[in-house]
Amino acid sequence: MISLKKVGTEAIPIIRDLASAIWPVTYKGIISDEQIDYMLDWMYSVDSLQQQILKKDHQFIMAYEDDTPVGYLSYSINDKANQTIYRLHKLYVSNDHQRKGIAGKLLEYMITEIKPLGATEIILNVNRHNSAVQFYKAKGFSVKEEQMLDIGGGFFMDDYILGLMC
């Protein structure tokens, strides 16, 4: 049985473990192993995750199958000046639990949380070559623009920016 729960800094070790297992499989053949390592360190170091949760107000939602963590999502208000647009930062499900509806449940949970707060749109970046693009399109997201973002270390993110009206 799948359950969802809001989590905070106490879940950082679990988030890191899941990311370390999911990312190399998800991004193999899309970005180099060196870029995977760089991005994991950039976005999933203990310090980075603490900043995301404590200073940037990212809300993490953990998915569990029974008591085993199998996925996570994080989101925040995209712009403090316009609090109706939210950014989906992360949505990952362990490789052996994909295609079981868990990602959809995480996304629905997020939407249920933000709609009463006045959310009108969700935006996210996704690698243009990631198969998750099809998932998001099936959930109603559409491509707003393309973005090539220099993330340092000689690496770039080649993304679509997707949007969903709430």
pLDDT, one tens digit per residue, over 1-14 is 999 999 999 999 99
pLDDT tens digit sequence for 129-140:
999 999 999 999
Query: What domain count does the chain have?
Result: 1
Q: How far apart are CA 95 and CA 92, in angstroms?
A: 9
Residue 153 contacts by C-beta under 8 Å, 6 or more apart in sequence? Answer: 35, 38
Task: Spell out where the chain has E strands.
Answer: 2-7, 59-65, 68-79, 82-93, 121-127, 142-152, 155-165
- Tens of pLDDT, residue by residue over 99-113, are 999 999 999 999 999
Instruction: Write phi, then psi, for 45 (nearest 5 degrees).
Output: -65, 160
Q: What CATH number has the domain bearing residue 97?
A: 3.40.630.30
Summarised one tens digit per residue, pLDDT across range 36-79 is 999 999 999 999 999 999 999 999 999 999 999 999 999 999 98
> Would the pTM of this model clear 0.85, i.e. be above it?
yes
**Domain limits for position 10:** 2-165
Read off the pLDDT of each residue in 11-36 and give the average, rounded to a whole number. Answer: 98
Q: Residue 21's pLDDT band (boundaries 50, 70, 90)? A: very high
Q: What's the number of CA atoms in the CB half-sphere (13 Å) around residue 8?
A: 4
Rounded to a whole number of angstroms, the CA Rg of the chain reads 15
